[in-house]
Amino acid sequence: MIVIGAGHAGIEAALASARMGRFTLCVTLRSDRIGHLPCNCSIGGPAKGHIAREVDALGGQMGVTTDHTLTHLRRVGTGKGPAVQTIRAQVCKAAYPKAMQEVFRTTPNLTLVEGEALTVLTQGDHVAGVLFRPNGQDEPVEIAAPSVVITTGTFLNGLCHEGQKKTVAARQGDQAVFGLSAFLVELGVHMRRFKTGTTPRVALSTLNLDRTLVMPSEWEAGPLSFLHDAPFPERDLLPTWQTYTNQKVHEILRENLHQSAMFSGQIEGVGPRYCPSVEDKVVRFSQKESHPIFLEQEEWDSESVYVQGFSTSMPADVQLEALHHIEGLEQAVMIRPGYAVEYDMADPLQLRPTLMSKLLKGLFLAGQINGTSGYEEAAGQGIVAGINAALFAKEEGEEVFSRDQSFIGVMIDDLVTKGVEDPYRMLTARAEHRLVLRHDNADQRLTPIAERLGLASELRLRRLEKKNEIISQTISQMESRYLTEAVNGTLADYEVSPIRNRASHFDLLKRPHVTLDLLEVLLRALGESTDHIPAKCLERPGDLHHLSREQVEINAVYSGYLKRQSDEVELARKMDAFLIPEAFEYEGKSLSYETVEKLSRIRPTTVGQASRIPGVRPADIALLIGHLRAGRS
C-alpha cells in the first residue's frame, strides 16, 4: 500500500501498514520534514492526550517518541474527574522529527521516496496506484498498489497569510501541491477551504521571565507510552512561563483589524472555533480584560519560544507592537511572525467509518485533509486508515472503532456521521461514554485489538498481562478482607462514616473522600496489613504497580457510574451491530423527507450511525428498524 505524506497521520499510517507485514511505500516531498511540528511543540492535553494514549495502545509511535524527546510535562484536568485527566507533554522540535526519521529508516517493509504525488491511479471503481514525480526527475513514475492513504495536511492548494502579504505555501518552508486536489474534485469529492494559524516566535534571551509565572514540569505525570516506566528526556525537564494580554494589547489589535488577513476578508477559509486567533478572541470576547499567554521553549538548543495563545495573521509590525505590551515581553525580539494558512479539505461525510472513500474503493483519507486540527487527531486517523488500508490490500476485512471503544472512534464517527463546519478538535465532552474511555485504561481497551492485528510487541503484551493481573488480585484480596463495627472509633478520627456490621476494604474505598492513601493510613492505625495494596512509585510513575493502584481506586470510587455507563454501552453496541445493507433504498418507507435526504446522502452503515445523524428523528429510526427486520425475515 502507498501513503502520501509523512506528517503525524502519514507516520502512523505507514508504520501500521509496515508492521502488519505489508510492503509499504511512503511518498513525501522532503524526508527531513518527517514528523515536523509546524505549530506548537506539544503532544497531548485535554482529550488529545487520550487520543495519543490510544494511538500508543494500538502499537503507534507518537507516545514512544514523545517520551524520548520530552522537554516539559504536566498532568492536566486534575481539578476534574478521571475521565478528563491526561498528560500534556512538550517535545524538542529538533529531536522529535529526527527520532521519527530514524524509525522510518529502520522499520522493515517500509520504503521512503522523496517526490510529489501527482494523482491517484484508478481501475474502474478501485485504486490502482499512484503517479508521482521523484525529486530531481522530470518524468513521473507509476507505482501500482491496491490501497492508498492520502495524508496531505495543509498542503493541498496551501496559501499563507501575514497581513496583506500572501505566499503560496503549505506552511513556512514547504511548497503547496495542486494535482491531488484536482484528482479529488474530478472524483466527486466535495472540497472546501479551511484555515489554521500559528503564533509568532520570540527569542528566549530577550524575555524578562521574572515578570511571568513559572510553571515547572511535573515528572510525576508519568510517561505517555505504556511501554515505559518513566519518560526518557535527554536532559532535565524545562519550565513553561505564563503571562497575559491586557487592554493595551487589545487596543492595538482592534485598531489594526483592517490589516488582519482574516478580518479584511482576504481569507475565505473557515478557522478553528476552539483555537481562535488572538484578534478573533479580542473581538468575540470583548468583555474580557485579558487572555492567558504561555511561553514554551521549542528546542533544547534554540532561542525560539512559542507564544501559545497568540495565533495571528496580523502584519509583523503589528504583532511585535502588541507583544511588547505583554508583561515579560517588553523587549522581545521576534524571530518569526505568526501567520495563517488556507488549504483544501475533503468532506468527511463521503468517507466510511474505516476512513475509506465511498467514491473509490481502496482510497483512504486521514488527518487535516478530513477537516480536523491537531497532531493527535491526525495520528489517530492515520493509524486507523493505515490499519484498514493494510487489511483492504489483502482483502482481510476491516477494523471499525466504535464510540464506546475509544476517543478515536468518537472522532471518526463524528466526522463521517455529522461532518464538519469548522476545523474539528477533539473534546472530552464529545464522548458520551468518557468515564470508560479514560487515559489510564487505553491499553486495556485497545491493545487486544493491536495483538490481533499484529501491532502489539511482546513487551507491550507482557506489561498489559502483568497490569491486569495486579489489578485483579488486588481487588480480589481487598474484597476478601473485612473490618467490623469495632473500628468505628478510629474511622471517626479520620472523618470516615461508621461501618454497620462489616465492610470489606474495597467497600471502604467506595466511600466519599476515601482514597487508597487514606485507606493505607487507616489500616496501619488499626494494625492491619497493607501488603495487598500496590505500592506508589513516584520516581517511576509508569510502574505497573503504580498504574494498577490508580485503576483500583477508580474502579471502586466510580463503580456505580461505571456500571451505568456499561449498560449504556451495551445498548449502543446493539444499535451499531444492526447493519444497513449498502444498497438499501430509503424512499417509500414512510420516513420523513429530511430523514430520507440525510440517510441517502450519508449512507450510514449501521442503525446506530443513522441514529446519530443530526436531524434524523427517533420515530424514523424505529420505522427503519422495522423495515430492516422485515427485509431479513
Averaged over 242-265, what is the pLDDT? 91
Percent of the chain at pLDDT > 70 equals 100
Half-sphere exposure of 10 (CA within 13 A, CB side): 29
Q: Which triple of cell numbers denotes residue 448?
A: 487486544
**Residue 572's closest CA among 449, 438, 431, 446?**
431
Domain 458-560 has CATH 1.10.10.1800: yes
pTM of the model: 0.94
Q: Are the CB atoms for 245 and 239 separated by under 8 Å?
A: no
Q: Which triple of cell numbers denotes residue 570?
A: 451495551
d(C-alpha 23, C-alpha 145), whole Å = 10
What's the pLDDT score for residue 274?
Answer: 67
Residue with cell 478572541: 281
Q: pLDDT tens digit string along 116-146?
A: 999 999 999 999 999 999 999 999 999 999 9
Look up the CATH number of domain 201-339. 2.40.30.260
Q: pLDDT tens digit string along 72-100?
A: 999 999 888 899 999 999 999 999 999 99
Averaged over 532-542, what is the pLDDT? 90
Angle at 330 between CA 324 and CA 335, to 5 degrees: 70
What's the pLDDT score for residue 231?
Answer: 86
What's the pLDDT score for residue 323?
Answer: 98
Q: What is the H or E stretch that residue 100 is in?
A: helix 95-106
**CATH topology (fold) of 2-38+48-58+92-194+342-453:** FAD/NAD(P)-binding domain (3.50.50)
Average pLDDT, the chain: 94
What's the pLDDT score for residue 272?
Answer: 72
pLDDT band at 329 (very low <50, low <70, confident <90, very high): very high
Judge whether residue 451 has pLDDT over 90.
yes
Judge whether residue 265 has pLDDT over 80.
no
Averaged over 246-271, what is the pLDDT? 87
In this predicted model, which residue has the larger pLDDT, 561 or 21?
21
What's the pLDDT score for residue 630?
Answer: 86
Give CA 497 to chain center in angstroms: 41
Judge whether residue 305 has pLDDT over 60.
yes
Averaged over 223-239, what is the pLDDT? 90
Judge whether residue 321 has pLDDT over 70.
yes
pLDDT band at 172 (very low <50, low <70, confident <90, very high): confident
Task: Tell me the CA end-to-end span of the chain in Å, nearest whole number.
Answer: 40
Q: What are phi and psi of 427, to 5 degrees?
A: -125, 145
Q: Are the CB atoms for 207 and 329 separated by under 8 Å?
A: yes
Q: pLDDT tens digit string along 349-362?
A: 999 999 999 999 99
What's the pLDDT score for residue 297?
Answer: 97
pLDDT band at 632 (very low <50, low <70, confident <90, very high): low
> Which residues sit opposite 144 in a β-bridge?
129
Percent of the chain at pLDDT > 90 equals 86
Look at residue 470 and give its three-state secondary structure: helix
Domain 578-632: CATH superfamily is GidA associated domain, C-terminal subdomain (1.10.150.570)
> Cβ-count burial of 17 within 10 angstroms (0-12 exposed, 13-18 middle, 19+ buried)?
buried
Give the number of other CB atoms < 10 A from CB of residue 190: 13
> Which residues sit opposite 193 in a β-bridge?
344
| Sequence spans of domains, the chain | 2-38+48-58+92-194+342-453, 201-339, 458-560, 578-632
Q: Which triple of cell numbers denotes residue 106?
A: 529502520
Q: Is the sign of the CA dihedral 598, 599, 600, 605 positive or negative?
A: positive
